[in-house]
Amino acid sequence: MSEGKNGKPRDAESRKERGVALRAGFYIFGTHVFAGFVWLLFYLGEHAGT
């Protein structure tokens, strides 16, 4: 196993990077789902037959 900076194994570093990318993907996905829900609320409110 090769070692990166600070004597840490490279596998731990790549695992950490993969975790950050996965977390960012979840945040981006979740933000879009939330924005879609808010948009749906405005759409339904605009088309409510009152």
What is the distance between the alpha carbons of residues 7 and 12, in angstroms, rounded to a whole number?
11
Longest alpha-carbon distance in the chain: 68
Q: Please tell me the predicted confidence (pLDDT) of residue 42.
A: 96
Q: Which two tokens stand for residue 26?
A: 């979840």
State pLDDT tens for residues 6-43.
666 678 888 899 999 999 999 999 999 999 999 999 99
Residue 9's nearest CA partner among 18, 21, 1 is 1
| pTM over the 0.75 mark | no
Evaluate whether 1 touches 11 at the Cβ level (below 8 Å): yes
